[in-house]
């Protein structure tokens, strides 16, 4: 896969996407959003890929925000379309992937950068990371799902404070608030992500996909998450992974899941 703004590496069942715009602190412009969509789509369709890690290039930023110069002149209609298309092709797209996506936040994750990290299935951060949604300081609000996902992760009150003050929080504060799962050094961030990914890859990719859908459905309007869980639980009984997992358990050996 050849892209201008991102790098994609694959080692066995693990794929790593690096947002590679270091001079712009990896800011999300239209082209980068399109490339990320295409990369995630290709990796999702590759059945050999079991986990995806996304990280920013360099040591300063995961993604320092959106490229403001691209939309500073937009009209009301254009602004609405910007948010709608972005959510559809990247942020909602990532959240609903059946392949687990880990965000490795290696520096600033602001605005669209934090929104991208929140769309991932969970987050790790280096101890130098800073996170925030500063959009109201520009006279606008988060438009890539920030007003929805941040309250889900940290609670309504904390989300309101972060959004209204346009402030940044440290990695440790983010961990305390439940925004990130782990904090480690810059040097150990990617190895930690890879270690967690290796644990995920030992398990049934079919079951993990079902679990992602069930968890996500709990946060969707008009969808009963408990009903989704019942359906997905039942569907698992018809998979080869279920047969292998239960057989391996009864035979007291490690399972070798076919991913079907």
Model pLDDT, residue 66:
85
Q: Which residues pair with 54 in a beta bridge?
A: 17, 103
72 and 192 together in one domain: yes
Do 189 and 212 lie in a common domain?
Answer: no
CA distance 10 to 168: 33
Could you give the 3-state DSSP secondary structure of residue 81? helix
Give the domain range for residue 233.
Answer: 205-251
Active site residue 135: yes
The residues near 194 (Cβ < 8 Å, ≥ 6 apart) are: 14, 53
Residues 120 and 19 in one domain: yes
* 36/152 same-domain check: yes
- Indicate whether 258 belongs to any domain: no
- Select which of 35, 44, 95, 115 is catalytic: 115
256 within a domain of the structure (yes/no): no
Are residues 95 and 210 both part of a single domain? Answer: no
Contact 220, 185 (CB under 8 A): no
Is position 33 within any domain?
Answer: yes
pLDDT tens, position by position, 217-244: 999 989 999 999 999 999 999 999 999 9
Domain tally for the chain?
Answer: 2
Question: In what helix (H) or strand (E) does residue 10 lie, and over which residues does it extend?
Answer: strand 6-11
Residue 70, pLDDT score:
86
Distance CA 55, CA 35 (A): 14
pTM: 0.95
Q: What is the CATH number of the domain that holds 184?
A: 3.90.226.10
Q: Are 107 and 130 spatial neighbours (Cβ–Cβ below 8 Å)?
A: yes
Q: What does each C-alpha distance from 42 to 1, 9, 174, 241 come to in angstroms?
A: 9, 12, 31, 23
pLDDT tens digit string along 49-61?
999 999 999 999 9
Query: Is residue 257 situated within a structural domain?
Result: no
Tokens at 212, concatenated: 């992602």
Q: In what order do the strands lie in the sheet with 101-105?
A: 6-11, 14-19, 51-56, 101-105, 122-126, 182-184
Structure token digits, residue 119: 């769309």
Domain shared by 93 and 147, yes or no? yes
143 with 246, same domain? Answer: no
Residue ranges for the chain with pLDDT beneath 50: none
Check residue 143 and give its pLDDT. Answer: 95
Choose, from 35, 44, 95, 135, the residue flagged as catalytic: 135
Instruction: Tell me, yes or no, whether 217 and 147 share the same domain.
Output: no
| Same-domain check for residues 83 and 12 | yes
- Please check whether residue 259 lies inside any domain of the structure: no
């Amino acid at each position: 896969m050849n892209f201008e703004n991102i790098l994609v590496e694959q080692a066995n069942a693990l794929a790593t996407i690096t947002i590679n715009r270091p001079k712009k602190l990896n800011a999300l412009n239209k082209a980068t959003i399109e490339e990320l969509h295409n990369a995630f789509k290709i990796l999702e369709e590759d059945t050999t890929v079991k986990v995806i890690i996304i990280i920013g290039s360099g040591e300063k930023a995961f993604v320092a925000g959106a490229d403001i110069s691209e939309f500073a002149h937009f009209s009301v209609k254009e602004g609405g379309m910007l948010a709608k298309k972005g959510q559809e092709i990247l942020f909602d797209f990532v959240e609903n992937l059946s392949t687990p996506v880990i965000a490795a936040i290696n520096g600033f994750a602001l605005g669209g950068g934090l929104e991208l990290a929140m769309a991932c299935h969970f987050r790790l951060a280096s101890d130098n990371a800073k996170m925030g949604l500063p959009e109201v300081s520009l006279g606008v609000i988060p438009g890539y799902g920030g007003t929805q996902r941040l309250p889900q992760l940290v609670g309504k009150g904390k989300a309101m404070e972060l959004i209204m003050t346009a402030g940044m929080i440290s990695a440790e504060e983010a961990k305390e608030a439940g925004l990130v799962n782990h904090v480690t050094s810059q040097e150990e961030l990617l190895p930690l992500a890879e270690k967690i990914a290796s644990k995920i890859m030992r398990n049934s990719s079919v079951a993990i996909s079902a679990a992602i859908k069930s968890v996500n459905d709990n946060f969707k309007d008009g969808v009963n998450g408990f009903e989704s869980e019942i359906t997905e639980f039942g569907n698992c009984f018809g998979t080869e992974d279920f047969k292998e997992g239960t057989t391996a358990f009864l035979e007291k050996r490690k399972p070798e899941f076919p991913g079907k």
